[in-house]
């Protein structure tokens, strides 16, 4: 035992002595194996020359290479956190030889100037001397130069040793490098992160530069400072910042439909966010101070550099606000789910079917919306135009309903409105739907009337005029023109409102109008209202200068509904006709007769009295609701899979492993998009058995036993079906 303890003591003393000798003589050369470094190379205190930073207006010289534009550290000693020289330091005492091109490929790894070969140092210095603008240069050289910018900003800058002018020079240099080497994902991310952190630490918080891109995940940490400022000032968080908070949050994510349709999802999220929060959600400051973690590209700063920003709270520790945002985003993704699946199945984003699957608010600006708008413009070459309702449904990618009730007509009008078109009749504007199997009149743009009472009265008069004109068997163009003149002469209406009534007139004179149920509606009216309505009917009958006996009979019938003397109809019509004046220049005549239009312009008081009544007269009774549509007949366990996807399924079940190239070739033979087809098969399997059929990648793995279970036992109910 004593011998053992003695041996152990000797061993320990030997190791201590050896370590002391190594410290005294310097470490073994890590920069060039087999060589012992001088003090200037190791960074140890001694005769090594301290490094100096050269600004953008200086041109240092290193081993015979001049470096225009500076922005580099030159010297023999620039220690990093580990006690050794920083990788970016240009050490003139180290040999550099020419002969190696800067474009010679290098392994994608971090470079250290002190550990590079002399040939690599020569290539790097050659790239610096050439102005750092060779697009073919190896990216590790670009990173090595970038390390120096990181150190200058995040170390010297934190100590107050960098002026605003110098920071501006470095920002410009980083932006210039991004233009040349921004195609490299890692460099682009680190460069954007440094730019964002520089702005967060020293920039104007109310003036964000255009080059700051917080959509990049590399910029998650500096974005926390942006969010913290909203909280510290009790300011509403804008929609774009709220969405970015959700995207960058480590515990949240967005659904497939949101990732597949990012622009549409973003637009819809902004709309729904403003609907719910107005100017924005407000979160109050918490007590946890904000500490940012800068993840540097250079190894000289370590894995994570902690930066405390005084006076700012840390909003990322709050859970309730981000959960509300996540619920809102999930709802938006669900609204896009049908459209997303349609694209996954290979559907064209410009097709009418795609437009039919989009929320109405997204049609403007979407490829499908632009395509539909062009088709509607071709369908409506004149303003307004009478067209078949079935064609309108087809342009919108919708199937015409079996019955055009008020609800379906309103939905059609809203869909057209999203493209800037209106239709007549429009239940939401004119008060009644079109005929179940009849046409509609298209016009542009759709306008919700502001003068509701006047618009309502003229809406009813347009239809009433068509009813009287059709009593003779066929309404004439002249009669319709007279009614339109009645509308156009009203100065209380805007041009858009007049266009809407003109479209209604076009439709009403082309489609037979009915008067069923008028007796029960007209009978209880006040006496004065009845007389006003009678005079209106007489004026309309005489409007075209020719009164057909059938028109007199029709008005007499209406008078009977009103409880007025039927003979009064003839007298009112005669009064209107007898009040005509001689034709004036430019006045159209018909059979030697013309009506002074001033005589048929309805008195405002009478129009006001009957406006509400007229809407009731022509309001269609509510149709009985249609019976609920029966779900399509099932097809056993294969329900939900189309023919091509079924064929793909049975082809994949032939073996468990498929090379990606083989799988894509199989999809191409079936005209299916590879990613979308695999997603559909996985959704089918998940909804049937609660598990995925295929694991994407190279190779693609197929769970044959799962598929056999579903196919043999049928579809199983799942309490949580796949979205």
Separation of first and last alpha carbons in the chain: 73
Give CA angle at 11 (5, 17), nearest 5°: 135
Structure tokens, 264: 């549409």
Instruction: Tell me the C-alpha distance between 324 and 276, whole Å.
Output: 11
From the list 438, 435, 398, the residue with the least C-alpha distance to 416 is: 398
Cβ-contact 91, 63 below 8 angstroms: no
Residue 93 pLDDT: 93
Which alpha helices (H) appear in 380-494, and where do they start and end? 389-395, 406-418, 452-469, 477-488
Facing residues of 90 across strands? 74
Q: Within 10 Å of residue 49's Cβ, how many Cβ atoms?
A: 13
Dihedral sign, CA of 342, 347, 349, 350? Answer: negative
Give me the residue label for tokens 């064929």. 647
Low-confidence ranges of the chain (pLDDT < 70): 1-47, 436, 450-454, 457, 460, 472-474, 514-526, 528-530, 533-534, 536-548, 557-558, 560-562, 566-567, 574, 576-636, 639-640, 686-687, 689-692, 713-723
Residue 581 pLDDT: 35
Q: What does the DSSP 8-state code read for residue 156?
A: I
Instruction: Tell me the C-alpha distance between 546 and 557, whole Å.
Output: 19
From the list 99, 106, 170, the residue with the least C-alpha distance to 136 is: 106
Instruction: Tell me the C-alpha distance between 154 and 300, whole Å.
Output: 11
Measured in residues, the chain has a length of 723
Q: Which residues contact 532 (CB under 8 A, 6 or more apart)?
A: 605, 606, 609, 610
Cβ-contact 322, 245 below 8 angstroms: yes
Q: What does the DSSP 8-state code read for residue 641?
A: -
- For the stretch 180-214, pLDDT in tens is 999 999 999 999 999 999 999 998 888 889 898 88
Residue 265 pLDDT: 92
- For the stretch 587-644, pLDDT in tens is 343 333 333 444 444 434 445 445 555 544 544 443 333 333 333 444 567 766 778 8
For the chain, what is the radius of gyration of the CA atoms?
A: 40
Q: Helix (H, G, I), strand (E, B), or coil: what is residue 79?
A: strand
Boundaries of every domain in the chain: 39-181, 447-581+593-618, 643-713
Residue 624 pLDDT: 35
**What Å distances lie between residue 191 and 4, 143, 146, 181, 298, CA to CA?**
59, 10, 8, 10, 12
Cβ-contact 567, 534 below 8 angstroms: no
Facing residues of 443 across strands? 422
**What Å distances lie between residue 144 and 76, 195, 297, 315, CA to CA?**
17, 17, 9, 34
From the list 150, 151, 83, 95, the residue with the least C-alpha distance to 119 is: 95
Q: What is the CATH number of domain 643-713?
A: 3.90.1150
Taking every pair of C-alpha atoms in the chain, what is the biggest distance, in angstroms? 143
Instruction: Tell me the C-alpha distance between 552 and 542, whole Å.
Output: 10
**Cα-based torsion angle of the residue sequence 544, 548, 553, 557 in order, rounded to the nearest 10 degrees:** -20
């Amino acid at each position: 035992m004593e011998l053992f303890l003695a041996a152990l003591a000797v061993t320990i003393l030997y190791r201590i002595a050896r370590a002391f000798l190594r410290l005294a003589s310097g470490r073994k050369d890590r920069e060039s194996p087999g060589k012992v470094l001088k003090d200037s190379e190791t960074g140890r205190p001694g005769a090594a020359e301290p490094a100096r930073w050269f600004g953008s207006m200086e041109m240092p010289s290193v081993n015979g290479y001049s470096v225009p534009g500076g922005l580099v550290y030159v010297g023999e000693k620039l220690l990093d956190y580990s006690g050794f020289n920083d990788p970016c330091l240009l050490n003139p005492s180290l040999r550099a030889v020419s002969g190696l091109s800067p474009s010679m490929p290098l392994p994608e790894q971090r470079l250290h100037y002190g550990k590079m070969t002399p040939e690599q140092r020569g290539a790097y210095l050659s790239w610096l001397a050439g102005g750092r603008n060779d697009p073919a240069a190896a990216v590790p050289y670009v990173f090595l130069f970038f390390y120096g910018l990181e150190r200058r900003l995040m170390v010297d800058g934190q100590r107050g040793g960098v002026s605003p002018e110098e920071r501006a020079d470095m920002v410009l240099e980083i932006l210039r490098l991004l233009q040349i080497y921004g195609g490299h994902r890692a460099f682009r991310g680190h460069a954007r992160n440094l730019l964002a952190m520089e702005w967060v630490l020293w920039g104007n918080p109310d003036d964000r530069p255009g080059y700051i891109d917080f959509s990049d995940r590399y910029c998650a940490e500096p974005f926390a400072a942006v969010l913290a400022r909203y909280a510290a000032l009790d300011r509403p968080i804008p929609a774009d910042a709220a969405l970015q908070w959700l995207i960058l949050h480590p515990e949240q994510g967005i659904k497939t439909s949101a990732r597949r349709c990012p622009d549409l999802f973003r637009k819809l999220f902004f709309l729904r966010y403003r609907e719910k929060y107005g100017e924005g959600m407000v979160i109050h400051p918490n007590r946890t101070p904000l500490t940012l973690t800068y993840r540097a590209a250079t190894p000289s700063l370590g894995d994570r550099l902690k930066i405390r920003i005084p006076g700012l709270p840390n909003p990322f520790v709050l859970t309730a606000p981000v959960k509300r945002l996540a619920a809102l985003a999930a709802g938006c993704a669900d609204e896009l789910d049908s459209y997303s699946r349609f694209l996954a199945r290979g559907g064209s984003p410009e097709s009418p079917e795609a437009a039919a699957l989009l929320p109405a608010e997204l049609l403007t600006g979407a490829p499908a919306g632009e395509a539909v708008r062009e088709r509607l413009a071709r369908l409506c070459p004149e303003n307004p135009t009478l067209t078949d309702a079935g064609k309108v449904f087809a342009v919108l990618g919708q199937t015409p309903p079996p019955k055009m009730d008020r609800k379906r007509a309103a939905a059609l009008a809203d869909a057209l409105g999203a493209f800037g078109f209106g239709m007549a009749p429009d239940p939401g504007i004119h008060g009644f739907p079109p005929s179940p199997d009849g046409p509609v009149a298209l016009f542009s743009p759709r306008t919700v009337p502001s003068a509701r009472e006047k618009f309502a009265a003229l809406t009813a008069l347009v239809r009433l005029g068509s009813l009287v004109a059709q009593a003779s068997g066929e309404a004439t163009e002249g009669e319709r023109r007279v009614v339109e003149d009645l509308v156009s002469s009203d100065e209380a209406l805007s041009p858009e409102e007049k266009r809407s009534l003109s479209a209604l007139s076009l439709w009403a004179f082309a489609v037979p109008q009915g008067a069923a149920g008028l007796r029960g509606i007209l009978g209880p009216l006040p006496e004065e209202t009845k007389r006003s309505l009678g005079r209106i009917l007489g004026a309309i009958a005489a409007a075209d200068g020719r009164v057909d006996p059938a028109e007199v009979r029709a008005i007499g019938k209406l008078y009977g509904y009103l409880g007025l003397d039927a003979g009064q109809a003839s007298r009112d019509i005669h009064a209107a006709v007898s009040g005509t004046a001689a034709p004036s220049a430019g006045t159209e005549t018909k059979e030697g007769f013309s009506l002074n239009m001033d005589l048929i312009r309805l008195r405002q008081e009478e129009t006001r009295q009957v406006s509400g009544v007229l809407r009731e007269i022509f309001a269609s009774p509510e149709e009985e609701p249609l019976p609920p549509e029966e779900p399509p007949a099932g097809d056993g366990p294969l329900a939900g899979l189309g023919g091509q996807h079924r064929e793909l399924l049975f082809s994949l079940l032939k073996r468990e492993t498929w090379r990606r190239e083989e799988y894509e070739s199989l999809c191409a033979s079936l005209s299916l998009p590879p990613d979308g087809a695999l997603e559909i098969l996985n959704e089918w399997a998940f909804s049937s058995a609660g598990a995925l059929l295929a694991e994407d990648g190279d190779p693609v793995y197929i769970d044959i036993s799962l598929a056999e279970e579903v196919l043999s036992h049928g579809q199983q109910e799942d309490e949580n079906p796949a979205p």
